[in-house]
């Protein structure tokens, strides 16, 4: 008998994602002017208010208020009727310096002996289910909201859209773990006030989601995924009805509260550590990227059709204390999962400083990752500009999503005789 599996996503205007993007924008600006900055920034957003707290050690200075306001306006919170807008909201800066007790375990004379910024375990996952080696349910959930944001910004259709939205996709699988069909789609979107007739409003939004949004998403998909959509899928749109009050006014947002959306949509596993606002000395972030890099290259090279990779660290210790691999019985090589883990250890230098260097993580590359998932994204090179009244203006060419590169394929194939 087959089964159902569900993943969700949230938009860039969701309160938790507003917080993530502010935290990562602050991190990016600090890294742009001082690549050695140590940063752990948490953001809270609520009605008309932003609170930024955390620990920073840096040689530079940035305007926290200006950085936060730019993010909020970019997302689309630009009207006072939203009860939260970038030009008028209060911004409280409660940042302070990083503890020397933590820093002493991280900074070393020899950078390659740099210890992990904290203890913990991090997971990476990949499968052959999609071209991006990601779970299909999560990829579709992200795509729905990315396209809805594009429609909102175009301003030609669905002109009532506001920034806050969520999606959820349920996939029906057969006994061989292969996707059979899209079973259920849930879309909830904040919208302008339509007036007293809530029923007409709901009918309009549901019609537009079915006839405008979903067809635009389907057109972007490979033919084999398009074939999974039939006329029988269940569609829920704004199931509670009216959704005018949203964003930080409707629900307080916090950095790091959407870690499953950020990773694999419930597939595989998660170590519990959030990403946004943290510089790469924090293995919560860097080792999670490294484990995804390993997993994706292993599946793409043909070692296995599905894999989960766990890395674990002790604070202040450079080498991981453990490497674990689970191929779910889908390995294509005659090695145990333990033997595969040993080869992973030989192939990939997993000391924090080595991960930073290999994936080019001491660059301002993080704001783009803070909405629509950190994994399964397309690597690309961009030029970013940063302005400072104190240190001048700089331009930096940086690589985004380096952990998604398939740059270890030949090394993996050689190691596994593929």
**89-94: long-range pairs with CB below 8 Å, 24+:** 89/48, 89/49, 89/50, 90/48, 90/49, 90/50, 91/50, 91/52, 91/64, 91/65, 92/49, 92/50, 92/51, 92/52, 93/52, 93/64, 93/65, 94/51, 94/52, 94/53, 94/54
pLDDT tens for each residue of the chain, 418 residues long? 799 999 999 999 999 999 999 999 999 999 999 999 999 999 999 999 999 999 999 999 999 999 999 999 999 999 999 999 999 999 999 999 876 655 555 655 666 777 787 889 999 999 999 999 999 999 999 999 999 999 999 999 999 999 999 999 999 999 999 999 999 999 999 999 988 888 888 999 999 999 999 999 999 999 999 999 999 999 999 998 889 999 999 999 999 999 999 999 999 999 999 999 999 999 999 999 999 999 999 999 999 999 999 999 999 899 999 999 999 999 999 999 999 999 999 999 999 999 999 999 999 999 999 999 999 999 999 999 998 888 889 999 999 999 999 999 999 999 999 9
Q: Which structural domains are found in the chain, ordered by start?
A: 3-10+136-246 (3.30.300.10), 120-127+283-415 (3.30.300.10)
Displacement of CA 106 from its chain's centroid (Å):
25
Cα separation, 394 vs 160, in Å, equals 38
Place of tokens 């789609």: 185
Residues contributing to the annotated binding site for Mg(2+) = 16
Residues contributing to the annotated binding site for L-methionine = 55, 98, 251, 282
Residues contributing to the annotated binding site for ATP = 14, 164-166, 242-243, 251, 257-258, 274, 278
Most distant CA pair in the chain: distance in Å? 68
Q: Which two tokens stand for residue 170?
A: 């349920």
Number of Cβ within a 10 Å radius of residue 338: 10
pTM of the complete model: 0.96
Cα separation, 344 vs 389, in Å, equals 46
Residues contributing to the annotated binding site = 14, 16, 42, 55, 98, 164-166, 242-243, 251, 257-258, 274, 278, 282
């Amino acid at each position: 008998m087959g089964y159902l599996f569900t993943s969700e996503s949230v938009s860039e205007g969701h309160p938790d994602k507003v917080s993530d993007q502010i935290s990562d924008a602050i991190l990016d600006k600090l890294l742009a002017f001082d690549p050695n900055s140590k940063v752990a920034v948490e953001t809270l957003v609520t009605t008309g208010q932003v609170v930024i707290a955390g620990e920073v050690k840096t040689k530079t200075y940035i305007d926290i208020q200006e950085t936060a306001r730019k993010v909020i306006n970019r997302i689309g919170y630009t009207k006072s009727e939203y009860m939260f807008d970038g030009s008028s909201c209060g911004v409280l800066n409660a940042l302070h310096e990083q503890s020397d007790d933590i820093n002493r375990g991280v900074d070393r004379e020899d950078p390659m002996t740099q210890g992990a910024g904290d203890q913990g375990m991090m997971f990476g996952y990949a499968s052959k289910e999609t071209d991006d080696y990601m779970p299909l349910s999560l990829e579709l959930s992200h795509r729905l909201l990315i396209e809805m944001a594009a429609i909102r910004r175009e301003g030609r259709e669905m002109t009532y859209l506001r920034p806050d939205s969520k999606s959820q996709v349920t996939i029906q699988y057969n006994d061989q773990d292969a996707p059979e069909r899209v079973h259920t789609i849930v879309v909830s979107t904040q919208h302008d006030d339509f007036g007293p007739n809530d029923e007409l409003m709901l009918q309009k939004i549901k019609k537009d989601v079915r006839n405008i949004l979903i067809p635009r998403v389907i057109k972007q998909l490979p033919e084999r995924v398009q074939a999974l959509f039939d006329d029988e899928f269940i569609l829920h749109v704004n199931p509670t009805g009216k959704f005018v009050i949203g964003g930080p006014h409707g629900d307080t947002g916090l950095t790091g509260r959407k870690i499953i959306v950020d990773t694999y949509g419930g597939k595989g596993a998660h170590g519990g550590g959030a990403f946004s606002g943290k510089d790469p000395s924090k293995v919560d972030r860097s080792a999670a990227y490294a484990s995804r890099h390993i997993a994706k290259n292993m599946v793409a090279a043909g070692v296995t059709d599905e894999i989960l990779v766990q890395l674990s660290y002790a604070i202040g210790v450079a080498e991981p204390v453990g490497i674990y691999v689970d191929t779910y019985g889908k390995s294509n090589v005659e090695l145990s999962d333990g033997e595969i883990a040993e080869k992973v250890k030989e192939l990939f230098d997993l000391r924090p400083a080595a991960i930073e260097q290999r994936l080019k993580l001491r660059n301002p590359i993080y704001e783009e990752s803070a909405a629509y998932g950190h994994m399964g994204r397309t690597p690309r090179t961009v030029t970013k500009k940063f302005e400072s009244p104190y240190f001048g203006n700089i331009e930096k060419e940086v690589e985004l999503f380096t952990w998604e590169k398939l740059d270890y394929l030949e090394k993996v194939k050689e190691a596994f005789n593929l």
